Chains A and B, each alone.
Chain A
Amino acid sequence: MRFKLTVLLMVLLIASAPIYGNDGLVGYGSNELAVQRVNGVELATIRGPYAGLYPWAYFPEQAPYIPIPELFDSYQRQSVSQIQNQEVLLNASGFGLDVLQYDPSPESYDPTHWKMSYFPYTSRPFFVLYEHIHNSGYIPPTDIGSKNMNRPENRLTFMRDMEFLFQEVIWPNERRYAVVGGRAIVYMWSSIQMTGDFAGLLDEARQKYPVFFIGSGEDMSNIERVAMFDGIMEYSLAGLGNLQSRAPSYRRMTIEYGRYAKISRRTLDKIESQMGKKILLVPTFQAAYDDTLVVPARDNNPLYSRSRAEVVEHARLIKLSMTRWRIFDNLGPFVIWSELPEGASVLPTMPSQELPGRYVGYGAERLNIVVECFVKRGRIC
């Protein structure tokens, strides 16, 4: 017994040495700006959906519904009074900011439109959707084929456009321009079509301008490619519903967007843990898609939900992914407001009879869903 006790006491003495754990250190990359800061509206302070606005004229024969006359006249771009009506409606509906479709190429009328009818007469915060795909300065100048950003002409065009945006849009409207950490947001739809050394070009632009690039259409499992952006925000989800099939499915689109969101979050978390770079993930809401009347024809089938409940379902999943699950950052979502030819806009339209099995959401129905789900606080629609 004594021997056993001696052995036991020895073990106790050996075990009595204190044990210390290792404390992990987590570091974050520096976001300090090397260039002048844009004193705009910080995105984090903006609540409510982002309204995609367009400078295009309304062609009745190319749109699947009729916008209310307070917002559009046939064959006309929006007038100043219509833009002001629109601002009142957007404010009343709780939209947080505007996203302006903007092609800065010399042949484009966009700069004139926004300069003459939007900037002087409105006060809402905004950022630009940089039109690069149809930009005449690029080779090729249309969306047929991607832009090789190794080409000196394309690199020159990109930097020239950035200079133009800062001189003509961002600095003159600095106080209302949306920024992240003092960097002005420039959004690119289908950035996947910018190939070659695009990452190097974005870095070059960041060295010269305080700019925050948001991309879209990227393969979200491609870490290297995604990591070159500061944020990701899809422009359209219609492709997820399989527009080429005989009957595209809105439900399928909803499910696939959920999958896309989970893959995206995984990728962005990996980038953050491996490179220390936090990338924003802003959701997108798609009310419908119908470009069947667009000339020239695009060979897509229309994507509509079968009922209002399906649209609400899509919105609800986005809302839960923003707030409860935090898959998306709690920003936005991006909503097409006035792009009429693709049938996705949520602005009020003239009432019409809904057909069984195909919910368009005429009148203010689409807008009501957006407001119910993304504007009203503290509720899941």
Chain B
Amino acid sequence: MLTSRYRNCHRVEQHFVPLSLFPVSRCPVCAGRRYCFAFCAIALALLLSSVALAQEESQEEVQEEKIIQKKSSFRLAFDFPLIPERIIANMDNIKEQPFGRSVQPVVGSFERRYSLIPRLNAFSKNFNFHLGVDRFVIRDDGMVRENMQADAHLEGSLWLVLIGVGGRYFQENIPNVLSGEEYHVDFDRQSYGGRVWAGLKMGGFHTTFIAVRAGKGRLWTEGNETYSSMLDEDFKILLFSDQFDVSFQSLEGRVALPYLAPFFLAEKNVFKKLEESGLFGLEDDSFENVKMVWGAELMPAGKGGVFRIVVRKTNYFGSDNDLYFGNRQPEWQGYVRFVF
């Protein structure tokens, strides 16, 4: 269902959200502007509430906050999935099409799964670090897709200025995409890249903050098929090997209320192809999409509590071609967070 919905979405027409920061393609969920206006309304509300909260916090609360900050300005958090996560991956990269093969990604939604490896977050007022590593298997149409992915970022701020660096790696192996009695063909894909950014931030990562970022980076991806048989050597086919320039802008915010911390992130990415080789490169030389994340962190024991629950929703608008480089974040995520 998800696939067909994305296939039919209107990608060409664009409109601009009230803050006119991000040109957003018509989304498939609302088929119009309503959804994006709703997002902007939330973003604006968060922005204004953060200001209002900052101004209206009582002296007592400020004192309390300062004590907590003094006690432990550096936090270490481990996220353990609470609900199974549905994997969003490219489903068509290994399948033959009736009128010629293509590696043009098509969104595929695969079975839900628990990630056994916790995600690590470390943050303080002016420091933010994230590391996520995952390894899993997707069973699709009788084939087994072995996936390994990792992403990390590190950023710090001084007064208003924010700088950061991040990277990602993705590997996919699909054995026996084609096989017979005397031969088999395996598929593999590797993608990696990094980006740097600068921006402005107000507030602390561990409490209430709002940040804007703009940055650039590079992404490489390569896909191969290897034919193995009685021949003296394997026959390796380079399907694609592309390099992309990536630029992005993002707006992120978090509001720390006594027992709840809603957060949001809107990120626009523009991908431009720099180099390509192989038999089946991506058809589009450039594409863009917008990732929107929002959710909330529940803190039953208050801001200083160790046990928390995080729920987040992620949506993508615009091109699906980012799947060329790896899987997407699950649409719905819920996890238990332990903060030390």
Contacts and interface: CB of A to CB of B under 8 A. Distances in A.
B141 interface: no
B279 A326 contact: yes
Contacts of A12: 19, 21, 212
What 3 pairs between A and B have smallest CB-CB spacing?
A16-B20, A24-B285, A4-B202
Q: How large is the interface on B (under 10, 10 to 19, 20 to 34, 35 or more residues)?
A: 35 or more
A266 B285 CA distance: 19
Contacts of B212: 8, 11-12, 15
Interface in B164-217: 178, 180, 182-183, 185, 200, 202, 210, 212, 214
A5 interface: yes
Given A1-B55, A255-B232, A325-B279, A313 B183 contact: yes
Contacts of A7: 160, 200
Contact of B178 (A254, A312, A324): A324
Given A4-B202, A316-B183, A251 B23 contact: no
A15 B21 contact: yes
10 contacts: A1-B51, A1-B54, A19-B23, A251-B232, A255-B233, A324-B96, A324-B185, A325-B101, A326-B100, A326-B280
Contacts of B20: 16, 18
B286 A22 contact: yes
Given A21-B288, A24-B285, A324 B200 contact: no
Given A265-B279, A313-B229, A320-B227, 7 more contacts: A8-B160, A15-B249, A18-B16, A255-B233, A262-B238, A312-B182, A313-B182
Interface of B: 16, 19-21, 23, 51, 54-55, 96, 100-101, 160, 178, 180, 182-183, 185, 200, 202, 210, 212, 214, 225, 227, 229-233, 235, 237-239, 249, 270, 272, 277, 279-280, 285-286, 288
B210 A8 contact: yes
Contacts of A309: 182, 230
B210 A255 contact: no
Contacts of B23: 18-19
Nearest to B94: A324
A15 B23 CA distance: 11
Nearest to A265: B279
A310 to B, nearest CB: 7
A22 B272 CA distance: 9
A21 B254 CA distance: 31
Interface string A319-334: 0100111110000000
B202 A323 contact: no
A124 B233 CA distance: 40
Interface of A: 1, 4-5, 7-8, 11-12, 15-16, 18-19, 21-24, 251-252, 254-255, 258, 262, 265-266, 309-310, 312-313, 316-317, 320, 323-327, 380
Contacts of B225: 324-325
A311 to B, nearest CB: 12
B230 A313 contact: yes
Given A21-B288, A316-B183, A323 B55 contact: no
Contact of B51 (A5, A15, A21, A324): A5
Contact of A21 (B180, B214, B279, B286): B286
Which of B185, B237, B280 has most A Cβ within 10 Å?
B237
A317 B227 contact: yes
Nearest to B177: A324
B292 to A, nearest CB: 17
Contacts of B16: 18
Contact of A255 (B183, B202, B235): B235
A91 to B, nearest CB: 26
A19 B249 CA distance: 11
A319 B161 CA distance: 59
Contacts of A325: 101, 225, 237, 239, 279
Contact of A16 (B21, B227, B237): B21
Contacts of A21: 270, 272, 286, 288
Contacts of B233: 255
B252 to A, nearest CB: 12
Contacts of B54: 1
B43 to A, nearest CB: 11
Contacts of A326: 100-101, 279-280
Contacts of B279: 265, 325-327
Nearest to A26: B285
Contacts of B21: 12, 15-16
Contacts of B160: 4, 7-8
